[in-house]
Amino acid sequence: MAIETAPEIELDSSHKVQSFLTDAADRFVMSYSTALFQSLLTPVNENTLDPVQQVIALDDAVKKGIVSRAEACRRMGYDIEEIDAERADEEARLLELEPTLSEFLEALRTTTPHTPPWG
């Protein structure tokens, strides 16, 4: 059985471009709407944890010694060495900014106590 094809219609380039763009837009809308409806109709996997529950579960596992910090970081998609380096930088920065005990006591001695407006 021979398949009949539609006769070629000679169009100028602007009609071809317009036709191409219309077809492309139609295909995009159909594929997007199909994917959207499929995602809406797909049931949620009951075994899937939300991100908050994942973090809580990993924190509990690390505290109980079931999982190492490095493994917990890998599961979350982070590099433990990078995290440790960032934490060390933050601690060093805090130590630079942290007032010493003598500075703190001097600040307490030089400030006047706040008197409430009602009395």
Q: Render pLDDT for 51-108 as a digit per residue (tens, 0 to 9).
A: 888 889 999 999 999 999 999 888 888 899 999 999 999 988 888 877 777 777 777 7
Lookup result for tokens 């995290």: 83
State pTM to two decimals: 0.42
Residue owning tokens 């942290």: 98
- Interhelix angle 51-63/69-76, rounded to 10 degrees, is 170
Give the residue from 75, 70, 80, 84 showing the smallest Cα distance to 55.
75
Closest CA to 108 of 97, 116, 100, 96: 100
